[in-house]
Amino acid sequence: MQRPDSDATGAARRVLIVGGVAGGASCAARLRRLDESASITIFERGPHVSFANCGLPYYVGGVIADESALLVASPALFRTRFDVGVETQTEAIAIDRSMRSLRVRDLRSGATRDERFDALVLAPGAAPVRPPLPGVDLPGVFVVRSIPDTQRIRAHIEERRARRAVVVGGGFIGLEMAENLLHRGLAVAILEKLPQLMPPLDPEMAAPVRAHLEAKGVALHLGDGLARIETRPDGGLAVVSEAGLRLAADLVILAIGVRPEVGLARDAGLTLGARGGIAVDARMRTSDPAIWAVGDAVEVRDVATGADVIVPLAGPANRQGRIAAEAIAGRTTQFRGVQGTAVVGVLGMTVAATGASEKSLRRAGRSDFAKVYLHPGHHAGYYPGAQPIHVKLLFSTPDGRILGAQAIGTEGVDKRVDVIATAMQLGGTVHDLAEAELCYAPQYGSAKDPVNLAGMIAANVLAGDMPLADWERLGATDALVVDVRQPAEFAAGAIPGAINLPLPELRARFAELPCDRTLWLCCAVGQRGYYATRFLLQHGYDARNLSGGFTTYRALRDAALVP
Amino acid sequence: MQRPDSDATGAARRVLIVGGVAGGASCAARLRRLDESASITIFERGPHVSFANCGLPYYVGGVIADESALLVASPALFRTRFDVGVETQTEAIAIDRSMRSLRVRDLRSGATRDERFDALVLAPGAAPVRPPLPGVDLPGVFVVRSIPDTQRIRAHIEERRARRAVVVGGGFIGLEMAENLLHRGLAVAILEKLPQLMPPLDPEMAAPVRAHLEAKGVALHLGDGLARIETRPDGGLAVVSEAGLRLAADLVILAIGVRPEVGLARDAGLTLGARGGIAVDARMRTSDPAIWAVGDAVEVRDVATGADVIVPLAGPANRQGRIAAEAIAGRTTQFRGVQGTAVVGVLGMTVAATGASEKSLRRAGRSDFAKVYLHPGHHAGYYPGAQPIHVKLLFSTPDGRILGAQAIGTEGVDKRVDVIATAMQLGGTVHDLAEAELCYAPQYGSAKDPVNLAGMIAANVLAGDMPLADWERLGATDALVVDVRQPAEFAAGAIPGAINLPLPELRARFAELPCDRTLWLCCAVGQRGYYATRFLLQHGYDARNLSGGFTTYRALRDAALVP
Q: Which amino acid is at A371?
A: K
Q: Give me the pLDDT at residue A347, please.
A: 97
Which phi and psi (to 5°) does residue A202 adopt? -70, 150
Which phi and psi (to 5°) does residue B338 adopt? -115, 150
- Picking from A562, A563, A450, A554, the residue whose alpha carbon sits closest to that of residue A208 is A554
User: In this structure, which long-range contacts are made by residues A359-368, counting pairs with CB atoms below 8 Å and at least 24 apart in sequence?
Assistant: A359/A202, A360/A302, A360/A304, A360/A305, A360/A307, A360/A404, A361/A305, A361/A394, A361/A403, A361/A404, A363/A305, A364/A305, A364/A306, A364/A307, A366/A305, A368/A396, A368/A397
- Report the C-alpha gap between B1 and B35 in whole angstroms: 10
Q: Is any Cβ of chain B less than 8 angstroms from the Cβ of A179?
A: no
CA distance B408 to chain A (A): 13
- Of B73 and A221, the structure prediction assigns the larger pLDDT to A221
The answer on pLDDT for A2 being more than 50 is no
Q: Which amino acid is at B289?
A: P
Q: Give me the pLDDT at residue A12, please.
A: 84
Sorted by sequence, the CB contacts under 8 Å of residue B98 that are 6+ apart come out as: none
- pLDDT single digits (tens) A314-335: 999 999 999 999 999 999 999 9
The answer on pLDDT for A6 being more than 80 is no
Q: Do B437 and A421 touch (CB under 8 A)?
A: yes
- pLDDT single digits (tens) A243-252: 999 999 999 9
Q: Give me the pLDDT at residue B3, please.
A: 39
Buried b or exposed e, range B216-238, using 16+ CB within 10 angstroms: eebebbeebbbbebeeeeeebbb
Q: Do A318 and B465 touch (CB under 8 A)?
A: no
Q: Give me the pLDDT at residue A1, please.
A: 36
CA distance B97 to chain A (A): 31
The residues with which B165 forms a beta bridge, in sequence order, are B188, B251
Nearest to A440 among B176, B343, B383 (CB): B343
Nearest to A414 among B83, B342, B439 (CB): B439
DSSP state of A55: G
- Picking from A471, A308, A342, A497, the residue whose alpha carbon sits closest to that of residue A417 is A342
- pLDDT single digits (tens) B133-165: 999 999 999 999 999 999 999 999 999 999 999
- Picking from B150, B170, B173, the residue whose alpha carbon sits closest to that of residue B312 is B173
Nearest to B1 among A65, A72, A538 (CB): A538
- Report the C-alpha gap between A245 and A15 in whole angstroms: 52
Q: Do A418 and B415 touch (CB under 8 A)?
A: yes
CB-CB contact of A12 with A37 (8 Å): yes
The answer on pLDDT for A300 being more than 50 is yes
| CB-CB neighbors (< 8 A) of B421 in chain A | 436-439
Q: Do A83 and B507 touch (CB under 8 A)?
A: yes
Q: What is the mean pLDDT of residues A11-27?
A: 93
Q: Give me the pLDDT at residue B10, please.
A: 58
Q: Do B64 and A382 touch (CB under 8 A)?
A: yes
* Intervals of CATH 3.50.50.60 along chain A: 14-127+259-328, 141-256, 348-462
Q: A20 to each of A87, A91, A100, A338, how far by Cα in Å?
A: 9, 11, 20, 22
A141-256 sits in which CATH class? Answer: alpha beta
- Of the listed ranges A47-51, A80-84, B112-116, B220-224, the least confidently predicted one is A47-51
Quick one: A471-558 is in which CATH superfamily?
Answer: Rhodanese-like domain (3.40.250.10)
Q: Give me the pLDDT at residue B6, please.
A: 44
Sorted by sequence, the CB contacts under 8 Å of residue B425 that are 6+ apart come out as: A423, A432, A435, A436, A437, B303, B336, B339
Q: How big, in percent rounded to 5, are the helix, strand and coil portions of chain A?
A: 30, 25, 45
Strand order, beta sheet including A369-374? A342-346, A349-355, A402-409, A389-396, A369-374
Q: Give me the pLDDT at residue A496, please.
A: 96
Q: Is A523 known to be catalytic?
A: no
The answer on pLDDT for B417 being more than 90 is yes
Q: Give me the pLDDT at residue A50, please.
A: 87
| CB-CB neighbors (< 8 A) of A313 in chain B | 437, 440
The answer on pLDDT for A545 being more than 50 is yes
Q: Which amino acid is at B306?
A: G
Helix (H, G, I), strand (E, B), or coil: what is residue A318? helix
> ∠ CA A30-A35-A39 to the nearest 5 degrees?
95
- Scan residues 355-394 of B and list those with Cβ closer than 8 Å to A: 380, 382-384
Q: What is the mean pLDDT of residues A295-301?
A: 96
- Scan residues 217-256 of A and list those with Cβ closer than 8 Å to B: none
CB-CB contact of B42 with B89 (8 Å): no
**Mutate: best of B347, B437, B509, B515, partner A, most A CBs <10 A:** B437
The answer on pLDDT for A502 being more than 70 is yes
Is the bond preceding residue B398 a cis peptide, omega within 30 degrees?
Answer: yes
Nearest to B538 among A1, A316, A384 (CB): A1
Q: Is any Cβ of chain A less than 8 angstroms from the Cβ of B466?
A: no
- pLDDT single digits (tens) A456-466: 999 999 999 99
Q: Is any Cβ of chain B less than 8 angstroms from the Cβ of A442?
A: yes
**Mutate: best of A84, A382, A523, A535, partner B, most B CBs <10 A:** A382
The answer on pLDDT for A423 being more than 60 is yes
**Count of other CB atoms within 10 angstroms of residue B488:** 8
Q: Do B441 and A343 touch (CB under 8 A)?
A: yes
Q: Do B438 and A452 touch (CB under 8 A)?
A: no
| CB-CB neighbors (< 8 A) of A417 in chain B | 439
- pLDDT single digits (tens) A167-211: 999 999 999 999 999 999 999 999 999 999 999 999 999 999 999
E strand residue ranges, B193-281: 219-222, 226-231, 237-241, 246-249, 251-254, 258-260, 278-279
Quickly state the pLDDT bin for A405 (edges 50, 70, 90): very high
Q: Give me the pLDDT at residue B72, please.
A: 87
User: In this structure, which long-range contacts are made by residues A554-557, counting pairs with CB atoms below 8 Å and at least 24 apart in sequence?
Assistant: A554/A207, A554/A493, A555/A204, A555/A205, A555/A207, A555/A208, A555/A390, A556/A204, A556/A207, A556/A471, A556/A474
- pLDDT single digits (tens) B312-335: 999 999 999 999 999 999 999 999
Q: Do A447 and B417 touch (CB under 8 A)?
A: no
The answer on pLDDT for B2 being more than 60 is no
- Scan residues 297-316 of B and list those with Cβ closer than 8 Å to A: 313-316
- Scan residues 57-96 of A and list those with Cβ closer than 8 Å to B: 58, 63-65, 69-70, 72, 80-83
* Intervals of CATH 3.50.50.60 along chain B: 14-126+259-328, 141-256, 348-462
How many inter-chain contacts (A to B, CB under 8 Å) are there?
254
Nearest to A428 among B65, B426, B451 (CB): B426
**Mutate: best of A71, A439, A545, partner B, most B CBs <10 A:** A439
* Intervals of CATH 3.40.250.10 along chain B: 471-558
- Picking from B358, B335, B364, the residue whose alpha carbon sits closest to that of residue B425 is B335
- Report the C-alpha gap between A215 and B142 in whole angstroms: 49
- Picking from B295, B404, B408, B285, the residue whose alpha carbon sits closest to that of residue B339 is B404
CB-CB contact of B311 with B300 (8 Å): yes
Q: Is any Cβ of chain A less than 8 angstroms from the Cβ of B435?
A: yes
CB-CB contact of A46 with A89 (8 Å): yes
Quickly state the pLDDT bin for A475 (edges 50, 70, 90): confident
Quickly state the pLDDT bin for B12 (edges 50, 70, 90): confident
- pLDDT single digits (tens) B170-229: 999 999 999 999 999 999 999 999 999 999 999 999 999 999 999 999 999 999 999 999
Quick one: B14-126+259-328 is in which CATH superfamily?
Answer: FAD/NAD(P)-binding domain (3.50.50.60)
What fold, for A348-462?
A: FAD/NAD(P)-binding domain (3.50.50)
Helix (H, G, I), strand (E, B), or coil: what is residue A413? helix
Q: Which of A54, A439, A522, A523 does the annotation list as catalytic?
A: A54
Q: Give me the pLDDT at residue B473, please.
A: 95
CB-CB contact of A179 with A58 (8 Å): no
- Report the C-alpha gap between B544 and B521 in whole angstroms: 6
Quickly state the pLDDT bin for A10 (edges 50, 70, 90): low
Q: Is any Cβ of chain B less than 8 angstroms from the Cβ of A441?
A: yes
Nearest to A538 among B36, B342, B443 (CB): B36
Quickly state the pLDDT bin for B9 (edges 50, 70, 90): low
What number does CATH give the domain A14-127+259-328?
3.50.50.60
- Picking from B317, B315, B314, the residue whose alpha carbon sits closest to that of residue B298 is B317
ipTM value for the complex:
0.96
| CB-CB neighbors (< 8 A) of B341 in chain A | 437-440
DSSP state of B94: E
| CB-CB neighbors (< 8 A) of B440 in chain A | 54, 313-315, 341-343
| CB-CB neighbors (< 8 A) of A2 in chain B | 537-538
Task: For B384, name the nearest residue in chain A, comparing CA atoms only.
Answer: A64
- Picking from B317, B437, B369, the residue whose alpha carbon sits closest to that of residue A338 is B437
The answer on pLDDT for A344 being more than 90 is yes
- Scan residues 512-541 of A and list those with Cβ closer than 8 Å to B: 530-531, 534-535, 537-540
- Counting residues of chain B whose pLDDT is more than 70, the rounded percentage is 98
Quickly state the pLDDT bin for A9 (edges 50, 70, 90): low
Handedness of CA B92, B94, B97, B102 (dihedral sign): negative
- Picking from B309, B272, B320, B326, the residue whose alpha carbon sits closest to that of residue B33 is B326
Task: For B431, name the nearest residue in chain A, comparing CA atoms only.
Answer: A333
Q: Give me the pLDDT at residue A192, please.
A: 98
Does the global pTM surpass 0.95? yes
Q: What is the mean pLDDT of residues B448-464?
A: 97
The answer on pLDDT for A141 being more than 80 is yes
The residues with which A409 forms a beta bridge, in sequence order, are A350, A389
Q: Do B423 and A418 touch (CB under 8 A)?
A: no
